Amino acid sequence: MTSLFLQLVIDWELVAIGFTLLLSGYLIGEILLAVLRPWPRSPPDPDRPLPFVSVVIPTFDEPDEILAATIASWEKVRYPAFEVVLADDSTEPIQLDSSRIRVLRRAHREGFKGGALRNAFDHLHPLSEWMVVFDADFVVDPDVLVRFSDHFRPGVGGIQGFMRMGLNHPASVLTRFSEALHEVAGVLLAGRYRYRGFVGVQGTVQAYRVEAIRAMGGLAPVTTANEDLDTSFRLRKAGWKIVYDPTIAGRGIAPDRYSTFFGQITRWTATTVREYRRHWASYARSPDVRLWEKIDSVMFLLTWTNALVVAPTMFFIPWSLLYLRLIPLWLAITITLLPLPVFLLPTLSTRTPRLGLLGWLWYYVLLVPGSFVMLRAAVSGLWGEPGFARTPKIAAASARTPPPAAPEGWAWNGQRCPARPYFATTCRRCGATIPPAEVVFYATAGLDVGSVECRNCLSDVEWMRFRAPSGPATPTAT
């Protein structure tokens, strides 16, 4: 009996080792591809009009400090034609003293975040051609919509940017580990995009073509806690391309409690497996999806379900210690070091190797509890119907460095902007000075950046030019 059990242990360990080597090689290959190949940048097309954009921020009982910092960052965004909509599901209605932000409140929370986004989609501005989605705890740079606009091209149905963490103050080991995880995830996504693998939208720092979503029957037509992966599968099956661009970035707040962190991992894992149950068979049969992308999507799923193989090996540790011949020493050392390049290589490109080392070390601290959390979540996704578990953000957001305050009288009707001496460009109408980062859209639109008007003074003629529709777009198989 003992020998039979040991043989089972040996066989399982061999399977786990093979699985670990395969998955690690896949991840390291993606990272090397992203790090070693410079990211391509196409020059802006001065003749391409900038379409109207609706920015939707789903909110639910957000702390005042966090929401205030988020709104302040959006009030500094420079783009000629956009609206900001708060899809509010809060217990108490949000009260804003801003004529530039529209609050869209539901009387219920049916469908969770996906339901709030679907409701917002049904109430977008009539001119909206793109719907941009950001979580309520993410701050942005003034040129974020201009960077999105680089990909407002025919055939593109979705755009994903880089989700960064790092707004927690004070930062803890856990929040720094979460920051390292997001750096790794962003670089992995860049690698998959570079070799035309499986790429989807991921919940925030993303954009949808309104025409594409409307043609598919709307956003989140089925109640799901992973509306982004659901939409990704539906877009690809319909022939729309999904673009990833790491130069589009938003920075958010990481969970600062272990219970919250593991709750977030549980939701991500369970709902990812759940959406694969719903969509992968029809996705694999779709003639609009390349064979390599289908294969790569399986590897992506394995990154979420590896605990099904790895977690049971934790029970075998006593026998592995008693019978060291189960795993050769060189192989044990190799497996131990495999996560090092996974965490370190992405941070080398951003010159933050200390963050990569911390991520690697803390990975082993959380390996055992994390494996069992993901094991339970994967099983839940395989056989259950996982619901939505909100990730509360209770970090000291007030200590974050806020973006500069928005100009006074910032509105559509041409009120004056206050001058600031450190700005480099001057508004030709009201005399206000404008920072270079905020006039980038003028260059994109092909205007003379030496003689421009601020957002408040932008003439009606130019507004209509910017709002000009970009023409019908049709999905193209990629």
pLDDT tens digits along 188-224: 999 999 999 999 999 899 999 999 999 999 998 887 8
Domain ranges in the chain with CATH number 3.90.550.10: 1-406
> Out of 12-21, 167-176, 431-440, which region has the weakest mean confidence (pLDDT)?
431-440
Residue 449 has pLDDT above 90, yes or no: no
pTM (predicted TM-score):
0.81
pLDDT band of residue 10 (cuts 50, 70, 90) is confident
What pLDDT is recorded for position 455?
58
pLDDT at 409: 29
How do residues 350-399 score in pLDDT, each as one tens digit? 778 899 999 999 999 998 899 999 999 999 888 876 655 566 666 444 43
How does residue 299 score in pLDDT terms, banded at 50, 70 and 90? very high
Strand-strand pairing, 206-209 and 241-252: unpaired
Residues 6+ apart with CB under 8 A from 166: 179, 251, 254
- For 1-406, give the CATH class: alpha beta
**Banded model confidence at residue 448, pLDDT cuts 50, 70, 90:** very low
pLDDT over 90 (residue 23): yes
